[in-house]
Chains A and B, each alone.
Chain A
């Protein structure tokens, strides 16, 4: 996994400019997605993960201001001109959204939706695009693709529509796919099937993937490395199986401990308190208020992210807690 970096995010901060004082949503986030690598961006709602991805697509709302750097293949995304941005969005990256129903135009046919991006960008002729769309729908396991092309979103089930969304992301043969909670809005029964198809299609093609989810288990299962966010900051990042086997940040450990077990019935341990946003947390560690291991130092000084055993952790007590966290996570 020593390939070239596709997406390189360094010290990204996002602030809302339409409130006084400005509200920080994301603070000093850094991570890298390499060619063919799958990275999981994990966090609860309000952790800033969706905002980070929106920034990487330059889709932030008008009132949000991003600072720091986001580079795609060495080119600064935040400084792209109109043409560069259109090229970047239409052929370099693609996005699979959370709710396919809301993210498709109800007045547009499936076929038109699939081909619109590549045809308007001049990447493919209309006829070629139609052929490719039908081929992709086939690969997504959608039977009767030509008939589906003529239908409207409301005629498709959520799971089917999300497969269409996945196909649309692959239409332009992008190098990197952003998947923003791609199954959260779907019925539980089709979630695993849609995830399986998506991961298979993306990894088969050797594409980079940034997988945004609140589900650490799922992220660990389908990605190579993980970036765990809390209250707009990165608290831990590293190889997926390392983190899964032994979390080094109390928040990661708490996330792992709060998941339902598939092997035996037990009471769920939920994280005390409620997830906070970046602008709500006081000085000190962002997780201090909910952390069972917090000390005076944690409440007064914000820990700096540092290298530790081949991963990055932002916790004052990471070394001394190694054992406690491991037992806490598997409890």
Chain B
């Protein structure tokens, strides 16, 4: 390049800051903070009943009203965030570890192992999550762990599919051949080099998966097969609110429902923008 022609990279208009990424990211951060410490800000203990003020609308005493047992809805929503996040958090963590390991193993080994695993993951990917969660609660009993175990299995292909294709791409890169020729073991190449390069993709997928898993986890609670009432949890709250709907008291269902939708939207957008930024092809 001669000095007189312009460098196209220099004249390239700078990519505008991704505002959506920042907004959704901050919202996700705030939600995680609420999940961890929200109970500290709850005006009442989540299980405290106030018989004199049951099923009342928003008031200075109860900002979001109370449910039919007189429990403060704001307090329950704040305290409920904890379990509502813990379930999907565990699911996302466990399925990310399993999915990524399986995918890198498959991509590195190749051949029939890769093919078999790939086919198996496709089958699991197509299986309806709710059905597996229902069966799990039949086998393990209703509670916190049945949906966590079932959804972990269901979410494994969610990572494995994208990580596998990324890992195959990495494996075929010249630098990997170089490392191999330099005498590095497969384990070292996979764990140090390939893993490091797929981490952004796993993070982006995991962020989206968190929102989806939160909705699924809450749905199982709603069905009465996951976390059980009277524990404060958003899915349970929507279910508890069903009977109040008929009396026209919709605060509990709507507050808990809104919490779920806001969380899912925030994590969806955040994960999507992260993926766009770090080039995860979904």
Known: A272-B2, A274-B1, A282-B4. 15 other contacts (CB 8 A): A19-B13, A273-B1, A273-B2, A273-B5, A274-B5, A276-B5, A276-B6, A280-B5, A280-B11, A282-B6, A289-B2, A289-B4, A290-B2, A290-B5, A299-B4
Tell me the minimal C-beta distance from A279 to chain B in angstroms.
7
Chain A, interface residues (CB within 8 Å), range: 10 to 19
Bound: A273/B2 CA distance, A = 6
Q: Shortest 8 CB-CB distances between A and B: which pairs?
A: A289-B4, A280-B6, A289-B5, A289-B2, A273-B2, A276-B5, A19-B13, A280-B5
Most buried by A among B2, B4, B6: B4
0/1 string, B1-30, CB within 8 A of A gives 1: 110111010010100000000000000000
Q: Are A288 and B4 in contact (CB under 8 A)?
A: yes
Bound: A74/B81 CA distance, A = 72
User: Which residues in B have their C-beta under 8 angstroms from that of A288?
Assistant: 4
Q: Does A20 contact B (CB under 8 A)?
A: yes
User: Which residues in A have their C-beta under 8 angstroms from that of B5?
Assistant: 273-274, 276, 280-282, 289-290
Q: Are A279 and B13 in contact (CB under 8 A)?
A: no
Tell me the minimal C-beta distance from B75 to chain A in angstroms.
51
Q: Are A279 and B11 in contact (CB under 8 A)?
A: yes
Bound: A282/B13 CA distance, A = 17
Identify which of residues 235-274 in chain A touch chain B, using a CB-to-CB cut-off of 8 Å.
272-274
Bound: A159/B11 CA distance, A = 40
Tell me the minimal C-beta distance from B258 to chain A in angstroms.
38
User: Which residues in B have their C-beta under 8 angstroms from that of A299?
Assistant: 4
User: Which residues in B have their C-beta under 8 angstroms from that of A289?
Assistant: 2, 4-5
User: Which residues in B have their C-beta under 8 angstroms from that of A279?
Assistant: 11
Please name the residue on chain B nearest to A289 by beta carbon: B4
Tell me the minimal C-beta distance from A41 to chain B in angstroms.
23
User: Which residues in B have their C-beta under 8 angstroms from that of A20?
Assistant: 13
Tell me the minimal C-beta distance from B197 to chain A in angstroms.
30
User: Which residues in B have their C-beta under 8 angstroms from that of A274?
Assistant: 1, 5
Bound: A110/B267 CA distance, A = 47
Most buried by A among B2, B5, B8, B11: B5
User: Which residues in A have their C-beta under 8 angstroms from that of B4?
Assistant: 282, 288-289, 299
A-B CB contact pairs (8 Å), 24 listed: A20-B13, A272-B2, A273-B1, A273-B2, A273-B5, A274-B5, A276-B5, A276-B6, A277-B8, A279-B11, A280-B5, A280-B6, A280-B8, A280-B11, A281-B5, A281-B6, A282-B4, A282-B5, A282-B6, A289-B2, A289-B4, A289-B5, A290-B5, A299-B4
Tell me the minimal C-beta distance from B2 to chain A in angstroms.
5
Tell me the minimal C-beta distance from B14 to chain A in angstroms.
11
Bound: A282/B1 CA distance, A = 14
User: Which residues in A have their C-beta under 8 angstroms from that of B8?
Assistant: 277, 280
Please name the residue on chain B nearest to A279 by beta carbon: B11
Tell me the minimal C-beta distance from B224 to chain A in angstroms.
49
0/1 string, A2-41, CB within 8 A of B gives 1: 0000000000000000011000000000000000000000
